Chain A
């Protein structure tokens, strides 16, 4: 399958600072990228969906000023956690898809995740 690279794999930051997580599609052009948050032993919670060149669509309850998403090119999306607090500590996973719709030949591929710890 296609490769989605997420960086960094883990990061520790001080409370109040901002952290940027990158998600790159290495061998395909990602029209749509998704950002998820996963709490321990829980499912993936979709935070937002971004289409290249347009503003991200955030899920209900997700603060758009807190979690800034940029999808400036067809191979790169970034999630910036601004003014991070300990409650933002979580596992963040991105996924990328070539098309707007999940179909057999346009499945979403997932990055390896980023574990964020805010101290």
Chain B
């Protein structure tokens, strides 16, 4: 099956930038996603990038995609304490006439003063 890998933990100081990295295996994924999960809650879609793009910026979020290396990153500018959460990257896999998301293990972002 497909696989998505992420580093498990990142600690940053408030106001600094955070960069969360992800590698994936399915080169046919049309979209790649970043989700945020706050404690005890479901997942919230943060942003996504179409596979023919290299970069997408959305306010404080910048997504970079290196399709050759199958590497995806999420940069959060001016990180705030409210950004503390688990961030999951996901690729889509088509199977049996529909597609499903394959998630990485999640990166726990801790923001400290």
Contact = CB atoms under 8 A, between A and B. Distances in A.
A107 B92 CA distance: 11
B40 A110 contact: no
Contacts of B50: 104
Interface of A: 1, 4, 6, 32, 34, 41-44, 46, 49, 51, 57, 93, 95, 100-104, 107-113, 115
Interface of B: 8, 30-31, 35, 40-45, 48, 50, 88, 92, 94, 96-106, 108
Q: Is the interface of B mostly helix, strand, loop or mixed?
A: strand
Nearest to B102: A46
A43 B42 contact: no
Given A44-B43, A113-B42, A102 B88 contact: no
Contacts of B103: 43-44
A61 B35 CA distance: 25
Contact of A102 (B8, B35, B101): B101
Contacts of A101: 94, 98-99
Contacts of B45: 1, 107-109
A32 B48 CA distance: 20
